[in-house]
């Protein structure tokens, strides 16, 4: 069969060293790969074989030399260092300004509009840890029915509610209301539903989180593939990140292991187009929590599964492994994302092993995917296929 498939896997937050403008984002001497490589649990021989440590600028690990993949270091052209901006740029959308953040909480007019729309009062309204906020405000929320609204260093409007007080479907409706309010100058990257259960003193967040992303403002790689009649499959957060735009099919995941298993499942299926995967645990469970060993173990697990992924690739398949930003678990000044270059590892029988140096934009990935299907990108980006 001549069917072409591309499997694009984003290791969420796997940065490989600070960009030249990192200080402008409050980041100094950050390097996610350097931090995790110091852990005794870090072991990635399969990514090494593809050429991870041969990428320009990487000073840790042992170089492979005759690596089996095409490799590159990607620079982020957009202004920002979050999931939405990183993924948008991968697909060909540049952000001239960082998405808005709210270190002092959301302005009164936003809270007033949200409260009027939902008919409920608001608690907290400041940056907070997701686990701590329900510990500190969960009891009052249960007694009053007021919604817990909080943010973080990211461009997010998060709404936490106990499932017995606000049914999950109702919480999702409140998020949709917030998404309509948060536009223009207050167009945050994501509105996030954060349901929880339990009793005061023992609250637990549930897996029914849901993200409502800002919609991509221009044509993306996904849109062009869909318009050309190709399958565009999202695994994990992809559907939420792109607000469903440009996808033909999607499936959510409960974590990295589930995301890898679902990707292996798609490797066995018949389709022509793109399977776009986000593995989020590196960022949410380990990067933000500054858990170096946990991050290293998660990368090692992915690397252990890589031979199975590679073994299922067909004659006309291409695998691309990359990231969307950094989140250095060894950087203790903040728990925020870090402004870093990201890796690009590309493998397939149609891919020439080579070192492509440093590329000017994440959008070269989108251009590469489209080029493979004979589609001219409607955005600035250069194909890495030769």
CATH match for 108-212 among 3.20.19.10, 3.30.70.1250, 3.30.9.10, 3.40.50.720:
3.30.70.1250
DSSP string for residues in 154-200: SSEEEEEEETTTS-HHHHHHHHHHHHHHS-GGG--SEEEEEEEEEET
The whole-angstrom separation of Cα 328 and Cα 342 is 12
Reading the chain (386 residues) residue by residue, the pLDDT tens digits are 579 999 999 999 999 999 999 999 999 999 999 999 999 999 999 999 999 999 999 999 999 989 999 999 999 999 999 999 999 999 999 999 889 999 999 999 999 999 999 999 999 999 998 999 999 999 999 999 999 999 988 899 999 999 999 999 999 999 999 999 999 999 999 999 999 999 999 999 998 999 999 999 999 999 999 999 999 999 999 999 999 999 999 999 999 999 999 999 999 999 999 999 999 999 999 999 999 999 999 999 999 999 999 999 999 999 999 999 999 999 999 989 999 999 999 999 999 999 999 999 999 999 999 999 999 999 999 999 97
CATH homologous superfamily, domain 5-97+216-372:
Alkaline Phosphatase, subunit A (3.40.720.10)
Question: What b/e readout covers 262-288, taking b as 16+ CB neighbours within 10 angstroms?
Answer: bbeebbeeeebbbbbbbbbbbbbebbb
Q: Where are the domains of the chain?
A: 5-97+216-372, 108-212
DSSP string for residues in 238-265: HHHHTTTTT-SEEE--SSHHHHHHHHHH
pTM above 0.95, yes or no: no
């Amino acid at each position: 069969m001549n069917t072409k498939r591309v499997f694009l896997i984003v290791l969420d937050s796997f940065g490989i060293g600070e960009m030249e403008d990192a200080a402008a984002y409050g980041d100094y001497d950050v390097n996610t790969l350097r931090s995790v490589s110091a852990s005794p649990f870090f072991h990635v021989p399969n990514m090494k074989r593809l050429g991870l440590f041969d990428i320009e600028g990487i000073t840790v690990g042992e170089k492979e030399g005759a690596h089996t993949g095409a490799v590159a270091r990607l620079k982020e052209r957009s202004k920002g260092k979050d999931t939405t901006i990183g993924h948008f740029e991968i697909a060909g959308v540049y952000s001239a300004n960082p998405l808005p953040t709210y270190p002092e909480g959301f302005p009164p007019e936003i809270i007033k509009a949200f409260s009027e729309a939902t008919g409920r009062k608001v608690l907290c309204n400041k940056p907070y840890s997701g686990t701590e906020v329900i510990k500190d405000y969960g009891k009052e929320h249960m007694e009053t029915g007021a919604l817990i609204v909080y943010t973080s260093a990211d461009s997010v409007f998060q709404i936490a509610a106990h499932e017995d007080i606000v049914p999950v479907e109702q919480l999702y409706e409140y998020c949709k209301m917030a998404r309509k309010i948060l536009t223009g100058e207050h167009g945050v990257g994501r509105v996030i539903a954060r349901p929880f259960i339990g009793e005061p003193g023992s609250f637990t967040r549930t897996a029914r989180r849901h993200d409502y992303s800002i919609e991509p403002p221009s044509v993306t790689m996904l849109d062009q593939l869909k318009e050309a009649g190709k399958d565009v499959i999202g695994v994990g957060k992809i559907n939420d990140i792109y607000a469903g735009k440009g996808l033909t099919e999607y499936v959510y995941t409960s974590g990295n292991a589930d995301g890898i298993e679902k990707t292996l499942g798609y490797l066995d299926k018949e389709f022509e187009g793109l399977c776009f995967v986000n593995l989020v645990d590196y960022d949410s469970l380990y990067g933000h929590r500054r858990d170096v060993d946990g991050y290293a173990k998660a990368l090692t697990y992915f690397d252990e599964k890589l031979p199975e992924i590679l073994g299922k690739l067909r004659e006309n398949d291409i695998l691309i492994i990359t990231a969307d930003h950094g989140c250095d678990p060894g950087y203790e000044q903040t728990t925020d994302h870090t402004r870093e270059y990201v890796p690009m590892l590309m493998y397939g029988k149609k891919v020439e092993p080579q070192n492509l140096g440093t590329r000017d934009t994440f959008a070269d990935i989108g251009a590469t995917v489209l080029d493979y299907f004979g589609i001219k990108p409607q955005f600035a980006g250069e194909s890495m296929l030769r």
